[in-house]
Amino acid sequence: MSDHLATLREKRRQALEGGGAARIEAQHAKGKLTARERLSVLLDEASFQELGALATHHNTDFGMDQHRFPGDGIITGFGKIQGRRVAVFAQDFTVLGGSFSEVQSKKISRIQDLAIQAGIPLIGLNDSGGARVQEGVRSLAAYGEVFVRNVKASGVIPQISLILGPCAGGAVYSPALTDVTIMVEGTSNMFLTGPDIIKTVTGEDVSAEELGGALVHNGTSGVAQVMARSEQEALSLAKALLSYLPQNNTEDPPQLEPYDPADRMDDALNSIVPDDDRLAYDMRDVLNLVFDHDSVFELHKEWAANALVGFARLDGNSVGFIANQPLVMSGCLDINASDKIARHITLCDQFNIPLITFVDCPGYLPGVEQEYNGVIRHGAKIIYAYCQATVPQISLVTRKAMGGSYVALSSKQMNNDVAFAWPSAQIAVMGAEGAARLLNRKAIEAADDPAAEEARFIAEYKEMFFNPYQAADVGQIDEVIEPRETRARLIRALEVLRSKVTQSIPKKHGLFPV
């Protein structure tokens, strides 16, 4: 028995050493943690149960029989985060560059299957040079096994991806299929085709960071949702994000012990919207004053900045928020903002997280480029997402709600449950200037002073329509509230809606306007 124990202990030692001291030192020299160090930061102490630690590949091509490491470049298993069970996998760049192999696929697939069966979140730590070329088509087919399980798990358990190094080729599709992707400035990159191949094929000279760095995918492409300054911050953000999400789609999100008075009112809200509707204000100030202190967790912060989305807490309960940002493009909706909003509605709905929408939108961004690139199709995504959502939905119009954007942004017709408005709300078919010219063009042209006549019609239109009271009169707004009351009103509404039950027409699925 002692010989057997010695063999087991030696194999375990080899698994813990990864690719060896030299490769670990090289990993640290890049400012990166090893896979096991990352898991020790992410998981509660002594909670990790590893599976498949001794698995190795059986490939003898290209001398690969001389490069066998226990675990084959990936660590998989279960652990706990803040006492909650999670499934994890972490690619080990010190072993063959973390290259994706048939064995890696089998280990990830097994942990995916177990996570779905157990109904617990899955967190993936990605750090790989790509498919293991020596395995040929087998490594490519192995990606498919992971993808199909990503899709199977979608909407069933939360899936969080951390990109902590390179992620190239087919490997990028797995994070793209998960709920939230977190990247690290300076060390993360994602791309289908690397800089060398791009230069060969197109002649474009671009670095890995310029092609697929954290800033690119958080600020330009929208592929990633969260950007961190370091690996430690990325791991910390993953833990914070998980606190807003349930274990699976049959459970409610975790509730914290309330720490911020439910009846707290901030007089600053009464003056936050400028009297001059041409002046902007920061919607983030509204969110921070309404939600529980220090509870706002924003997603897609750097992308489509004219819209804000994320999670927060009200009286300790997890909620999702969607808001226009008047500081950017006056809060107009465009193609990217539409995609951002629609995605977040769907994310919240699949995990039973109530939605609160803060509306200050003058409409959709006009322009030939927007029309040519399909703003109609992209804008329809918002409507579809709101209409199919079954979670509690509350809206608050803080200022402008014009035309189609009023209807799209959680209006009563879009499955909204409770609609509030501030006295500063302007709910109208279109802007006053355009409406005055459209309705009174002939009178303006015939006037002795056309400019004065136009100004009079604009003032009349604003007096008649630039307020929330007509909408409240016909039941489109449930109540006009004093801004300082917003927090308390939202909390009371959510208390009533917590037990909301809906029924849908049986169908396989609809056609989302992709």
**What per-residue confidence (pLDDT) applies to 10?**
66
Cβ–Cβ under 8 Å, residues 130 and 161: no
Average pLDDT over residues 497-514: 87
| pLDDT tier at 119, thresholds 50, 70, 90 | very high
Q: Which tokens belong to 155?
A: 């909407």
Is residue 136 pLDDT above 80, yes or no? no
State residue 466's pLDDT score: 76
Q: Alpha-carbon dihedral of residues 224, 230, 233, 234, nearest 10 degrees?
A: 30
Q: What is the pLDDT of residue 7?
A: 67
Residue labelled with tokens 């087991």: 8
Average pLDDT over residues 368-394: 95
Strands (E), 224-330: 226-228, 297-299, 307-314, 317-324
Give the confidence band of 327 by pLDDT, cuts at 50, 70, 90: very high
3-class SS at 326? coil
Higher pLDDT: 493 or 402? It is 493
Answer yes or no: are the C-beta atoms of 204 and 165 closer than 8 Å: no
pLDDT value at residue 18: 66
| Token pair listed for 317 | 């309960």
User: What type of residue is 183?
Assistant: M
Residue in the block written with tokens 């760095």: 213
Q: Which domains, ranges and CATH numbers included, belong to the chain?
A: 2-242 (3.90.226.10), 267-425+467-497 (3.90.226.10), 431-465 (no CATH)
The whole-angstrom separation of Cα 223 and Cα 43 is 26
> Rounded to whole angstroms, how far apart are CA atoms 69 and 11?
10
Find the helix or strand (DSSP H, E) in which 12 lies. helix 2-17
Confidence of residue 48 (pLDDT cuts 50, 70, 90): very high
Alpha-carbon distance 295 to 277, whole Å? 29
Q: What's the confidence (pLDDT) of residue 236?
A: 98
Q: How far apart are CA 471 and CA 477, in angstroms?
A: 6
Element holding 39 (H helix, E strand): helix 35-42
Nearest to 406 by CA among 420, 425, 431, 427: 427
CA–CA separation, 331 vs 324, rounded Å?
Answer: 5
Q: At what angle do helices 35-42 and 231-242 cross, to 10 degrees?
A: 40
Query: What is the average per-residue pLDDT within 369-374?
Result: 94
pLDDT at 135 over 80: no
N-term to C-term CA, the chain = 61
pLDDT at residue 376, as a whole number: 94
Report whether pLDDT(2) > 80. Answer: no
pLDDT at 185 over 90: yes
Bigger pLDDT: 447 vs 110:
110
Range of lowest pLDDT (31-40, 182-191, 374-383, 447-456): 447-456
CA distances from 372 to 134, 174, 216, 307, 365 (A): 44, 30, 24, 21, 13
274-283, 294-303, 431-440: least confidently modelled range = 431-440
287-297: average pLDDT? 98
Q: What mean pLDDT value characterizes the chain? A: 89
